[in-house]
């Protein structure tokens, strides 16, 4: 079976999941079957078929599994959000359509994605501007102590940092491609540790330092972790020097300690993480209430869950955004939550597989950076909900309610498929 046919058949489970999911919701709410679930499933399948046909025509050699995995996650996300709020689900579906359109636009306009290297400094400037937009008066919004969103027409909110992550990865892929050899050849050993030459590593530190400062001002620690992790992974792939990563991890540990002890908002997150059941921190307006109730919900789910539609959503704060993984675990159990994580791991694996097949260093670094950012975003939100790390306000890609996240991750998917198509193209 050809790659594109495997992609086509891979879309069927996503459409069936939409149909079955909405059927379950209607039965739970009205105790009756409805033909509307079939309609929703058919519409979703039609949208996915449109994306598949477009890929078949424009990227015939692209990875055949990434798009079906995204469709599966998105279908599950729409059903889960509808389970919480039908209004939010309609908006989620609209963002899905917009993301699919931008996915196609990205493929058409960036067909030769290597030309993005020519605009790397413009891209990084735009990315940094997007980072600070939520802090500007009049358009920025503070949500749960962090400045994450800006207001857009229609009463909606938008998180510009979702696009910043892609722009910063493009910049780093381009810059490290040019300087990776001199970083290795010019490295010096100081006290047994190999340090990169400051002349060539300095610009990366300056750009990344500006991004970190902006993220601290925004109190958006989750995105900071994603960006920093992407930097370290790309730096290791570019240079092959593990010592550079060790230095970066040490610097991150020192920075995390300083932020956790000197910035009130960050310190509060650490306190909620360390003491979720402390009565002094447990209050409905924030604090450890969110963390503790998420733990209770996951514990109650057990191995097989309470059943579809059985969770008490009023007891789980922000069930369609920050805590949607807790809702999944509560209703579908550990097995259901693990199935979702397996889908994410398969997507990340295909992203790294694309990086290994790439024929030039820029493509390799770009695929590594995009896959790492995507994977860290999943880790940050799932790790926060399960109390592995402090809870932060990032979205679970393609599942949590959030327009910017869906649209930006569709752009990320488009870039990965562009790299994949080029790497799998037969050599003349």
Q: What is the DSSP string of 121-164?
A: HHHHHHHHHHHHGGGSTTTEEEETTEEEEEEETTTEEE-THHHH
Q: Burial level of 229, CB count in 10 A (0-12/13-18/19+)?
A: buried
Per-residue pLDDT band at 46 (split at 50, 70, 90): very high
Average pLDDT of span 45-73: 95
Lowest mean pLDDT among 125-139, 192-206, 287-301: 192-206
Average pLDDT of span 250-262: 77
Closest CA to 350 of 241, 423, 427, 245: 423
Q: What is the total count of domains within the chain?
A: 1
| Contacts of residue 341, Cβ cutoff 8 Å, sequence gap at least 6 | 378, 382
Residue 385 neighbours by CB distance under 10 Å = 26
pLDDT for res 25: 77
Is 67 in a helix, a strand, or coil?
Answer: helix
pLDDT at 190 over 60: yes
Q: The tokens of 285 are what?
A: 């307006």
Per-residue pLDDT band at 227 (split at 50, 70, 90): confident
117-137 confidence digits (pLDDT tens): 999 999 988 988 888 887 777
Is 188 in a helix, a strand, or coil?
Answer: strand
The structure's pTM equals 0.92
Ramachandran sector of residue 318 (left: φ over 0; alpha: ψ -120 to 50; beta: rest): left
361-396 confidence digits (pLDDT tens): 999 999 999 999 999 999 989 998 898 888 877 789
Per DSSP, the chain holds a count of helices (H) and strands (E) of 15, 7
| Higher pLDDT pick, 31 / 338 | 338
The most distant pair of C-alpha atoms in the chain lies apart, rounded to whole Å, by 72
DSSP assignment letter at 280: T
Report how far apart, in Å, the C-alpha atoms of 149 and of each of 130, 138, 369 are.
Answer: 10, 12, 24
Per-residue pLDDT band at 189 (split at 50, 70, 90): low
Average pLDDT of span 292-318: 82
Q: Yes or no: say if 367 and 122 are a contact pair by the CB < 8 Å rule.
A: no
Q: Please tell me the number of Cα atoms within 13 Å of 130 on its side-chain side.
A: 20
Backbone angles phi, psi at 359, to 5 degrees: -100, -5
User: Domain range for residue 14?
Assistant: 3-424
């Amino acid at each position: 079976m050809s790659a594109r046919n495997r992609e086509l058949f891979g879309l069927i489970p996503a459409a069936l999941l939409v149909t079955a999911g909405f059927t379950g919701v209607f039965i739970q709410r009205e105790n009756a079957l409805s033909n509307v679930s079939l309609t929703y499933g058919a519409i979703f399948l039609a949208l996915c078929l449109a994306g598949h046909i477009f890929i078949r025509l424009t990227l015939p050699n692209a990875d055949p599994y990434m798009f079906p995995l995204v469709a599966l996650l998105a279908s599950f996300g729409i059903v889960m959000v509808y389970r919480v709020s039908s209004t939010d689900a309609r908006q989620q579906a609209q963002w899905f359509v917009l993301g699919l359109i931008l996915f196609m636009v990205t493929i058409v306009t960036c067909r030769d994605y290597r030309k993005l290297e020519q605009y790397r400094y413009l891209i990084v400037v735009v990315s940094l501007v997007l980072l600070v937009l939520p802090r500007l008066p009049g358009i920025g919004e503070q949500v749960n102590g962090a400045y994450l969103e800006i207001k857009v027409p229609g009463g909606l909110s938008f998180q510009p940092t979702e696009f910043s992550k892609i722009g910063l990865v493009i910049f780093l892929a381009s810059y490290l491609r040019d300087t990776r050899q001199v970083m290795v050849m010019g490295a010096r050993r100081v006290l047994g540790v190999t340090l990169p030459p400051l002349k060539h590593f300095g610009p990366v530190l300056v750009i990344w330092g500006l991004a970190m400062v902006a993220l601290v001002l925004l109190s958006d620690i989750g995105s900071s972790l994603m960006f920093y992790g992407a930097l370290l992974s790309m730096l290791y792939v570019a240079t092959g020097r593990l010592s550079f990563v060790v230095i970066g991890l040490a610097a991150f540990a020192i920075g995390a300690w300083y932020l956790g002890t000197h910035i009130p908002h960050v310190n509060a997150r650490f306190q909620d993480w360390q003491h979720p059941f402390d009565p002094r921190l447990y209050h409905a307006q924030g604090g450890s209430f969110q963390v503790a109730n998420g733990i209770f919900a996951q514990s109650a789910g057990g191995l097989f869950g309470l059943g579809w539609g059985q969770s008490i959503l009023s007891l789980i704060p922000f069930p369609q955004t920050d805590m949607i993984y807790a809702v999944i675990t509560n209703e579908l159990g550990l097995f259901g939550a693990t199935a979702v994580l397996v889908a994410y791991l398969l997507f990340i694996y295909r992203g790294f597989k694309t990086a290994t097949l790439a024929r030039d260093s820029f493509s390799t670094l770009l695929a590594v950076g995009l896959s790492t950012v995507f994977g860290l975003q999943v880790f940050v939100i799932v790790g926060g909900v399960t109390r592995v790390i402090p809870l932060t306000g990032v979205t679970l890609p393609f599942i949590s309610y959030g327009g910017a996240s869906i649209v930006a991750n569709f752009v990320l998917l488009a870039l990965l498929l562009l790299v994949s198509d080029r790497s799998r193209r037969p050599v003349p």
